[in-house]
Amino acid sequence: MTSLLDVRDLTFHYADRAGAVRAVDNVSFSLASGGSALGLVGESGSGKSSLALAIMRMLPSNVARYDGQIWLDGQELLGLADDRFRQEIRWRKLALVPQGAQNGFNPVLRVGEQIIEPLVVSGTAGKKEARARAQELLAYVGLPTDVYLRYPHELSGGMKQRAMIAAALILEPPLVIMDEPTSALDASVQTQITNLLKRLKKELNLAIIFITHDIALASDVCDDLAVVYAGEIVEIGSAEQVLLHPSHPYTQRLLASIPRLHADTTPQFIPGAPPDLREPPAGCRFHPRCPLAFEPCAQENPPAFELADGQMARCWLFEDGQEER
């Protein structure tokens, strides 16, 4: 069975004045089919947003290394020429709702214009047709249709987020990457948006890559979870596996740091700070902060070890088959 999205050994480094920043290193994951969602979870600065940009091929001018393979719907994307990638993939197959989508709209153009822009520019639809489609989408995401004629500053944060989602859907892409889509919103609006995402999955058969620092929120929306640390995916598996049986010490700490309402445990903070991606620690990138670290950890970076039914973890603890969990 081929999956909808298959990312293999994706690596993306960029150079700044102090050296190469290894933002994404050897990342592999796949997303089975439409209607499912993968959560990319990690602290800020872990490289999860860079991963989104790397998939969208929105690279900075100082990119130092960009390789690996991305298979989308049976098509390899990295080998595609820039022009074809822009015309055939962006927004058509792969849309993005960026971090801080609050500012995702051009402030001097009407919202509607911006939603239909890709449709009109590619010449797929006339303006009238495009408008009808956009208004339909606006209604679908729960906005009044007159939003079409409004300017971004006239919308609230939640409305802008919905409008941004509507914009992402205009070319009916099979996959949408959502980068922290709810982080700037208050709790009730957050819930509305997550409910909307669930509806999109179910009703439109949309595949979603959901990027967040909030593992609880991710588990609400996503079927699979990938935990990102220092530019690498350290653990990946179904939401259930990762939440109930976290294997990687980092995942365990991350879960322990979440305050729980009905529990006696006090939230644990992870000691230390995420590493500088210019000079990540040798060996396992988590080992300086890891309470379970032993000799091999500092020597060599562990590969991903398969634990059970697709759950994988990059940790030397699992070198000899499936040891204790």
Positions touching other proteins (CB under 8 A) are 56, 58, 86-87, 89-92, 95-96, 98-101, 103-109, 117-118, 121-122, 151, 153-154, 164, 167
Residue carrying the six token digits 């991710």: 218
d(CA 77, CA 89): 8
Residue closest to 162 by CA, chosen among 186, 190, 187? 190
Nearer Cβ to other proteins (164/304):
164
Nearer Cβ to other proteins (84/325):
84
Helix and strand counts by DSSP (H, E) for the chain: 10, 12
Burial (CB count <10 Å: 0-12, 13-18, 19+), residue 110 = middle
Nearest distance from C-beta of residue 7 to other proteins, angstroms: 18
Nearest distance from C-beta of residue 104 to other proteins, angstroms: 5
Nearest distance from C-beta of residue 108 to other proteins, angstroms: 5
Nearer Cβ to other proteins (170/293):
170
Tokens at 42, concatenated: 């990690």
Nearest distance from C-beta of residue 154 to other proteins, angstroms: 6
Helix (H) or strand (E) holding 242: helix 239-244
Nearest distance from C-beta of residue 242 to other proteins, angstroms: 29
d(CA 262, CA 275): 33
Residue type, 33: S
Tokens at 298, concatenated: 């500092």
Nearer Cβ to other proteins (19/310):
19
Nearer Cβ to other proteins (147/255):
147
